[in-house]
Amino acid sequence: MEYTFSVTILKWRENNPKHRKGMGGFMIKNGFFSDYKIAQLKPIEVGLFLYLLCIASESSSDQFVISARTLPKQFRISNKSLHNHLDQLQSLQLVSCSKLPPKLIKENKEKGSKGGVVNSEQPTPQSSLFSENTTAAALKRASPATALVDISTIEQMQKLFDDSTLRIWSQLYPDPEFLHRVTLKAVNYYNNNPKKKPRTVKGWKQTLGSWYDKDWPKHVRSIPGEKKQEGWAEGAV
């Protein structure tokens, strides 16, 4: 049975803020191979990670779908091996990935999907993002990434994103109170600075991701007995 995975490159936008589709490449720092996270990978996993970065660069998106069948012939790995290698990359917080349900894979094929960037929406988010009282039933179907939106309240924000995005954020920042507080702060900031406000779902996703990532280390340090969590592989991209 062929496995198909939805993959998200963590902190892709943060490390490539000026990247645009068609640029033909992406930034990678000299210390890539000496990075402590990269040093824990097997050679084939390093190659796989670099390949995933190339996909993100080519599609100008941090999220896409892959399978063993779509990998270059140089890899020559089975579905199970691909699953294990992606799990290793995820354990080091280099990527976030999930195996797509058979139903979703079938729907994508019927719609003519070619394995590029897709909305890998899952049926139920693991936890609430914006409020501890928000339930999965309250979350509406997400708007298209390029749809124009005018967000001025946190209630409107709750309906903006698909379950895959909510799940990734809840895994990266496992504190609903933190997510609620930072989201509210961002909404208030852009209400007071409307010229800087994102105008699309994609814009809000990238913006909130940056806000969460910036405030999370400070939040972790404020928790008694907690050490600062390491972020994405420093210098990796």
Q: What is the pLDDT of residues 168-222, one digit of tens each?
A: 888 888 888 888 888 888 888 888 888 888 888 888 888 888 898 888 888 888 8
Residue 45 has a pLDDT of 92
At 120-170, the pLDDT tens digits run 333 333 334 454 444 333 334 445 656 677 877 777 777 778 777 888 888
**Which pair of structure tokens corresponds to residue 163?**
């379950």
Residue 217 has a pLDDT of 86
Mean pLDDT of 10-18: 80
Containing 129, the helix (H) or strand (E) segment is none
Domain spans, the chain: 4-110, 136-221
**Which pair of structure tokens corresponds to residue 191?**
């209400």
Residue 40 has a pLDDT of 92
Distances (CA, A) of 177 to 12, 20, 67, 139, 157: 25, 34, 36, 18, 15
**Which runs of E-coded beta strand occur in 21-94?**
63-67
Neighbours of 176 (CB within 10 A): 17
Q: Are 47 and 54 in contact (CB under 8 A)?
A: no
Residue 48 has a pLDDT of 93
Neighbours of 106 (CB within 10 A): 11
Q: Are 89 and 45 in contact (CB under 8 A)?
A: yes
